[in-house]
Chains A and B, each alone.
Chain A
Amino acid sequence: LKLCQAVVGLLGRFLVDLVLFFFSRSQILKGWRAAALIGLENPFRPTVNTLSKQLSSEFTDIMNEIWANEAVKSAVLISSKPGSFIAGADLDMIEACKTSQEVAQLSQEGQKMLEKIEQSPKPVVAAISGSCLGGGLELAIACHYRIATKEKKTVLATPEVLLGLLPGAGGTQRLPKMVGLPAAFDIMLTGRNIRADRAKKMGLVDQLVDPLGPGVKSPEARTIEYLEEVAIDFARGLANRTVSAKRSKGLMQKLTDYAMAVPFVRQQVYKTVENKVRKQTKGLYPAPLKIIETVKAGLDQGHDAGYLAESQNFGQLAVTKESKALLGLYRGQVYCKKNKFGTPQQEVKTLAVLGAGLMGAGIAQVSVDKGLKTILKDTAQQGLDRGQQQVFKGLNSKVKKKSLTSFERDSILSNLTGQLDYKGFEKADMVIEAVFEDINIKHKVLKEVEAVIPAHCVFASNTSALPISQIAAVSKRPEKVIGMHYFSPVDRMQLLEIITTDKTSQDTAASAVAVGLKQGKIVIVVKDGPGFYTTRCLGPMLAEVVRVLQEGTDPKKIDAISTAFGFPVGAATLIDEVGVDVATHVAEDLGKAFGERFGGGSIELFKLMVEKGFLGRKAGKGFYIYQEGVKNRSVNSGMDEILARFKLPAKPEVCTDEDIQMRLVTRFVNEAAMCLQEGILSSPVEGDIGAVFGLGFPPCLGGPFRYVDSYGAKQLVDKLRKYEAVYGSQFTPCQLLLDYANNPSKKFHQ
């Protein structure tokens, strides 16, 4: 078989929701035969404005050329970059636009370009390997046929909603036709990743290609080549009509499509989905509602109205503060996925975890999962068994979800050793302790561990509040001691807060960050101090929650107003989740360290709760009663007496729902700013990421610092002053906030 197909080098790159190609002329090669290959690459980043115009015209040029050339019967779109069909979203482009009209204009250009492909008389096949996201997916579904490699790295998704946007290049119009209305809503409203095999079942792709092993080339190179060969075959087949692009739909889909064709049924679907979205977003996120609206426009009012609505809504969404906040978080996340301390001298290959409790086992799971040899040590067989079972359960749930095979699970677990002694610690490259939060116990294990580990081994402490320097005080090698604060449940919470002391070496930090990144975490690195960053921000807010409770607002109401503000978990529920005993412990420690600023509520209330055994979810009772299998939990009536005992008169001038929200949030934000002021935080970006991913600060606000920017430092300081006048110094704004309030042009994020 001669390789006579023309290879047209189309150096493409991708801009959020717009497919814009930069096409290098010099790469049009020789003669054409049956299929033209269009390679997508991303070799450089030219400036945005010229690109947009240039790209659309050049893309039109190449399509024209394909149409004009008699010898070309079909075309294949394939990326020459392994691992990505089109994934990179160029957010600069959107952000550079000043008005929503400008963005809408970009969307329209994208729509037109993809429509050209859709209407091409010569079939175009998308050959997908690697991530096919956002506009990449929109491009793929504008083609006549899609072939994807069945690899883990091949995922299809429309993540726009996660950035507060919508698919703006025809996606909202094509997807419902392709996969049916319910599935299209699911794809667009969740933005979730769809694996290739699932995509095939949904009808999002037409054929799957299995990844190949080694041949006379590397598996990756040969797999791409094979994908190309198969795609060319299908492109030829489509051109000479031996292959039909029409998909045979299953009975279920046929029935669904039939039902969706009835306007009344469709209206019911819109209504149900809309209600669900409203309930989940509390009206704080505009993008999902706009997506529904846009889909509706296309289906009810026709093609032109649909496309118009898409571009207009895309433009409107792009300039919302929610979108900017989410975009900021996306960028922050990318920032926190890099190791700014460089490559550690010695890669961690063997990790030991002390304590097989909820945290310890969680850390072991995310480590062994990524190929680290992991030792899980506990002091009692019973605790160890529970921990090992937790790891098994965690991995097994992936088997049930089919993201892992049972064989892979077993082979992963073979790297986990559960033990009660320090055997094998002489080979450990890092030890993470997750033992009970008591400084004496921490000191004891540190000394025990240092007696058995090799010189290069890092000792990391997983603590939520004990200062690392205090733990390191008994160490023979404090430069190797660091804090790694994981969040519960470890396998699901994305954040890792790493704490360095004055003595921690750069290499130790590099090693800890590398392990965190390997575990798949978003890593922020902060300086040591009581409560570090995350726990410290949470402290004043929870103190205020207690105050609000004392003033007679019941837990359900507090939960309702905090979730209405955008917190994923209500403030009272959060205390139950954390554990009242833990909260008391931390509050006492921080209270000692920071004094009045952590005042507000009475800690005695917590202490009484602990006394009565109301420890939160783990004890079955806290502010609420927790029962296995009961969904609607009821308020713990045992709390009535406690709350009555600590009751304080409410001050009507600061007790509206909005005031209560602001009292909680301003204290959080003020403390976060204080951390930046004191150098605990090295940047506002890390502050935002830590608050959102570790504490559930409302993502639509983008984190405390972005919130100050959008709400206005001055307005925020005014609020603080107002509450300060009523309650006292716990509301005194910090100097940094005052500086920003005095200078309106000063922003944390430029």
Chain B
Amino acid sequence: LAAPPPKSKKTLTKSGVKNIVVVEGVRIPFLQSGTSYADLMPHDLARAALQGLLNRTSVPREVVDYIVYGTVIQEVKTSNVAREAALGAGFSDKTPAHTVTMACISSNQAMTTGVGMIAAGQCDVVVAGGVELMSDVPIRHSRKMRKTMLTLNRAKTLGQKLSLLSKIRPDYFAPELPAVAEFSTSETMGHSADRLAAAFAVSRLEQDEYALRSHTLAKKAQDGGLLLDVVPFKVPGKDTVTKDNGIRPSSMEQMGKLKPAFVKPYGTVTAANSSFLTDGASAVLLMSEEKALAMGYKPKAYLRDFVYVSQDPKDQLLLGPTYATPKVLEKAGLTMADIDVFEFHEAFAGQILANLKAMDSDWFAQNYMGRKSKVGAPPLEKFNTWGGSLSLGHPFAATGCRLVMTTAHSLKKEGGQYGLVAACAAGGLPKCVLGP
């Protein structure tokens, strides 16, 4: 075995800037929606993740200065889900908490919010996390019906009430479902992914192969006990859930039989090569390095640099990692070769492969990114080697913390130094975090 090439930089420590560390991170098992978590509420999942974090780290509750949580599809009863979960998990009622949203990178946003607070000297200890419960989503009455109901509240006489009620028509009862679609373009994410795959000429075969790889690697990681961030969750009225239930390595043949899910009848994105609807929650404990060391913790990772980028929500919705990767590398003064572990969010196999092709294209770099040349695609042997969102599942807002923890654990196992996390998100807002 050849010795790894020397790194461009020995350390990313910057003078005058606090080092911010991940002490620990956990997640409850990610489950396909409609399974064991189906009867819970989002804050129940978040609560379980928070309690898991407390148990694992034994951090005294009063030390935590602040809690930030990410969520995408909001349960209206717990709009500040961070606060509800924190109270339920036994955190001090003196610890403030807020909730952020940024589509699939909501917990990345929660973490970088924490990083900002620590860097600014506002806090020393922040818990960040994300939660998503796709088993239950808010389905609303139609706008017309809502309007009638609200007016009804204000109606004083019986006559007024009756006249309002008499205006209700059958179509008033048609419910409004939340769509996984861009508001600006009305295009669903799957449809966009199919077009993206076509734009980069990613074939159905390539996508199925990639999806199979993800499931196979995830299975291996699960069986090998590598998914250290998973904490068991005793679901009320049900058995304790201990592992992710979406990992299903199949055969190319089986996958080949599926019909396209979005662009019918000739598209390439299918249920098998997309991430599935998932319930789950995650949480990480962030501290300033000095605080962590003072408390006797050995940091699992250092969060160094991050960038958020955004681009055209129609045609480049899912290309965030392509734009963010070279930017964050340059910011940190590293090259692709310096990175030992890449963890990219796998929304769709087609989306990952399109990003890899885009990163490997000079034409794309020159015409769309304003760069002289391509940054190059990450080598697959360092890329999502323990599976990804396709196989482990993708509870939208909980994925970011999983990516960071997988990177941290993977770096430790492989003896690597630098890791890179990237994800795409609706609205064309992806981000990148550099690990230790």
- The residues of A with any CB-CB pair to B shorter than 8 Å are 1, 207, 210, 212-219, 222, 226, 230, 233-234, 405, 407
B203–A213 CB distance below 8 A = no
B contacts, CB < 8 Å to A? 183-186, 191, 195-196, 198-201, 203, 263, 266, 312, 314-316, 354, 357-358, 361, 363-364, 367-368
- Which residue from chain B places its CB closest to the CB of A217 in the assembled complex? B363
Contacts of A212 in B (CB 8 A): 195, 198-199, 315
A213 touches B361 (CB 8 A): no
A407: B residues at CB distance < 8 A: 183-186
- Closest chain B CB from A408 CB (angstroms): 9
Q: Is A213 in contact with B312, judged by CB distance below 8 angstroms?
A: yes
Chain A interface mostly helix, strand, loop or mixed? loop
Contact A215 B186 (CB under 8 A): no
A358 to B183, CA, bound (A): 33
Chain A residues in 8 Å Cβ range of B196 = 213
Identify the closest chain A residue to B262 (Cβ): A210
Evaluate contact between B195 and A233: CB separation under 8 angstroms.
no
Would you give the shortest CB distance from B185 to chain A, in whole angstroms? 7
A-B residue pairs, 9 tightest by C-beta? A213-B315, A215-B199, A212-B199, A215-B200, A407-B184, A216-B361, A213-B199, A226-B198, A210-B195
**In contact, B266 and A214 (Cβ under 8 angstroms):** no
Contact present for B367 and A214 (CB under 8 Å) = yes
Q: How far is the CA of A226 from the CA of B199 in the complex (A)?
A: 8
Asked if B316 contacts A214 (CB within 8 A), the reply is yes
Contact B185 A213 (CB under 8 A): no
Closest B residue by C-beta to A226 = B198
Q: Are B201 and A215 in contact (CB under 8 A)?
A: yes
Task: Name the one of B200, B201, B203, B263 contacting A210, with C-beta atoms under 8 angstroms.
Answer: B263
Distance of A218 Cα from B366 Cα, bound (Å): 12
Q: In the assembly, what is the distance between CA of A210 and CA of B191, in Å?
A: 10
Contact A214/B183 with A219-B315, A230-B266 known, Cβ cut-off 8 Å: no
| B364 close to A214 (CB less than 8 A) | yes
- Nearest CB of B to A388, in Å: 23
Task: Check B195 against A216 for contact (C-beta < 8 Å).
Answer: no
29 A/B residue pairs, CB under 8 Å, sorted by A: A210-B191, A212-B195, A212-B199, A212-B315, A213-B195, A213-B199, A213-B314, A213-B316, A214-B199, A214-B315, A214-B364, A215-B201, A215-B354, A215-B357, A215-B364, A216-B200, A216-B201, A216-B357, A216-B361, A216-B363, A218-B367, A219-B199, A226-B199, A230-B266, A405-B186, A407-B183, A407-B184, A407-B185, A407-B186
B266 cross-chain contacts in A, Cβ below 8 A: 207, 230, 233-234
B191 — nearest CB in chain A belongs to which residue? A210
Most buried by B among A219, A222, A407: A407
- Measured between alpha carbons, how far is A217 from B198 in the docked complex, in Å? 11
Residues of B within 8 A of A213 (CB): 195-196, 199, 312, 314-316
The closest CB in chain A to the CB of B354 belongs to A215
Residues in chain B near residue A218, CB distance under 8 A: 367
CA distance A222 to B202 in the complex (A): 12
> If A214-B364, A216-B363, A217-B363 touch, does A222 touch B183 (CB 8 Å cutoff)?
no
Chain B residues within 8 Å of A210, by CB: 191, 195, 263
A231 to chain B, nearest CB (A): 10
Question: Would A1 and B203 count as touching, CB distance under 8 A?
Answer: yes
On chain A, the residues within 8 Å of B198 by CB distance are: 212, 215, 222, 226
Residues of A within 8 Å of B183, CB to CB, are 407
Contacts of A217 in B (CB 8 A): 363
Question: Given known contacts A214-B364, A214-B367, A216-B363, what 19 new A-B pairs fall within 8 Å (CB)?
Answer: A210-B191, A213-B196, A213-B199, A213-B312, A213-B315, A214-B315, A214-B316, A215-B358, A216-B357, A216-B361, A218-B367, A219-B199, A219-B315, A222-B199, A222-B201, A230-B266, A233-B266, A234-B266, A407-B186
Chain A residues lying within 8 Å of B364, measured Cβ to Cβ, are 214-216
- Complex CA distance for A214 and B186, rounded to whole angstroms: 19
A217 CA / B361 CA spacing, docked (Å): 10
Q: Which residue of A lies closest to B368 (CB)?
A: A214
Q: What residues on A are CB-neighbors of B357 within 8 Å?
A: 215-216
How far is B200's CA from A234's CA once the two chains are assembled, in angstroms? 21
Contacts of A230 in B (CB 8 A): 266
- How far is the CB of A581 from the nearest CB of chain B, in Å? 43
CB distance from A226 to the nearest CB of B (A): 5
- How far, in Å, is B365 (CB) from chain A's closest CB? 10
**CA of A226 to CA of B203, assembled, Å:** 12
Q: When chains A and B are docked, how far (Å) is the Cα of A405 from the Cα of B186?
A: 9
Q: Report the separation of the CA atoms of residues A218 and B199 in the bound assembly, to the nearest whole angstrom.
A: 9
